[in-house]
Structure formats: structure tokens, C-alpha cells
């Protein structure tokens, strides 16, 4: 909680002040307050917040477009503020990464619970994305090794185990990853 940086984006300066007071009292650091859509991205870029709390109906650019840009850069989780008379989620919210939706008539407890949950889930999401990226890379490397083994079996008449040991030896002898060796073998054997 302490040191968590938050940006508040709402056209109503009085409402921004109210939210800021609740957050600061709970130990959060409000690093930016803006009243229009275009300023949101500038403040996010400058302050690198851990969370953005915003009204999607800010003046300026369409709020959902701003949220899509925030999502694209994985800059921070977003909690949307909605008018208390609105029921359900706006349809356009369903296709984008929003980590919470709160009515503007909210209590300290609702706000603080939503903040903690959004930050926790965003961090979990980022870890999953990193793991997914790592696994995709490992799969691509494995495919290269399998393809190189297949070509070595055909070209040199090696068994599968011998082909793998051949790739391993080249990798260790040349101090390069086995995926790089496999890629080079594939290129060389395709030329023949």
C-alpha cells in the first residue's frame, strides 16, 4: 500500500479531490490528477503509476480509446468510475482490460478494496503474460531442435538420440544455445 502510485482522471475537480483524500488517508501516493482524456496518457507516461482510476467519459478523446492505449502498453491497471444511476457495465468495457468498475457514490472501503484487488490482479496478469511469452519461446526453440534432428536423421542417417547428441555437442563446443545451432543446421541442410 505505502508508496503505491495512483493517477485519478475525472472532469470534476471536487470529485478528484474527494478520491485523492480517501487514497492519501489510506497511505497511497496520488501522482497525478487530470480532468481530460488527453492529459491521462501524458501523466501516466511521466509518473508511471501502479493504478489509474478514471471516468471513461472524460472530455477530449474517447475514454475507451485511452484505456486501450494504457492496456496496449501494459502501463497500469484501470478502475472505471461510473455514474451511480448506470446499471451494469457499459458494453464497450467488455472487450478491454479493466480491473474494476466503481460507482461514483462509493465508500472508502469500496475504493480501497477495489484498488488492492486491481493492483494484485494486474501483477498476476503481468506474471502470466511473461510466463506465456517464455513458454512460447521455449516451444519455438523445441520445434527448431526437432526439425534439425529430423533433417540430421535424413542427411546423416543418425538415430534420434545421436542427432540430439550431435546438436548438443555443437552447442557446447561453440558456446551457443542449442536453438541457434538447430537453426543453423536447418539452414545448411536445406541448401544441400
Q: Give percent of the chain with pLDDT exceeding 70.
A: 92
What is the per-residue pLDDT across 99-117, written as a single tens digit (0 to 9) for each?
A: 888 888 888 899 999 999 9
| Residues written for the chain | 192
What is the per-residue pLDDT across 61-97, written as a single tens digit (0 to 9) for each?
A: 776 788 888 888 988 999 988 876 556 566 666 677 8
Give the CATH fold of the 133-191 domain.
Answer: Arc Repressor Mutant, subunit A (1.10.10)
CA distance linking residue 174 with residue 158, whole number of Å: 21
What residue segments make up the domains of the chain, in order of their start? 5-106, 133-191
| Per-residue pLDDT, 97 | 80
pLDDT exceeds 90 at position 29: yes
What is the 3-state secondary structure of 97-153? CCCEEEECCCCHHHHHHHHHHHHHHHHHHHHHHHHHHHHHHHHHHHHHHHHHHHHHH
Give the CATH fold of the 5-106 domain.
Answer: Rossmann fold (3.40.50)
* Residue that is written with C-alpha cell 502510485 in the block: 5
pTM reported for the whole predicted model = 0.76
Amino acid at each position: 500500500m505505502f508508496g503505491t502510485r495512483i493517477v485519478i482522471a475525472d472532469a470534476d475537480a471536487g470529485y478528484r479531490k474527494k478520491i485523492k483524500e480517501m487514497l492519501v488517508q489510506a497511505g497511497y501516493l496520488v501522482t497525478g490528477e487530470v480532468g481530460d482524456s488527453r492529459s491521462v496518457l501524458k501523466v501516466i507516461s511521466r509518473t508511471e503509476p501502479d493504478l489509474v482510476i478514471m471516468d471513461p467519459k472524460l472530455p477530449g478523446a474517447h475514454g475507451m480509446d485511452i484505456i486501450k492505449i494504457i492496456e496496449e502498453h501494459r502501463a497500469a491497471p484501470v478502475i472505471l468510475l461510473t455514474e451511480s444511476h448506470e446499471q451494469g457495465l457499459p458494453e464497450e468495457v467488455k472487450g478491454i482490460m479493466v480491473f474494476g468498475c466503481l460507482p461514483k457514490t462509493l465508500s472508502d472501503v469500496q475504493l480501497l478494496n477495489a484498488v488492492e484487488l486491481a493492483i494484485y490482479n494486474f501483477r498476476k496478469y503481468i506474471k502470466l503474460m511473461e510466463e506465456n511469452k517464455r513458454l512460447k519461446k521455449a516451444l519455438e526453440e523445441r520445434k527448431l531442435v526437432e526439425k534439425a534432428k529430423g533433417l540430421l536423421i535424413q542427411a546423416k542417417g543418425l538415430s534420434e538420440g545421436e542427432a540430439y547428441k550431435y546438436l548438443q555437442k555443437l552447442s557446447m563446443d561453440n558456446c551457443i544455445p542449442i536453438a541457434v545451432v538447430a537453426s543453423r543446421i536447418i539452414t545448411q541442410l536445406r541448401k544441400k
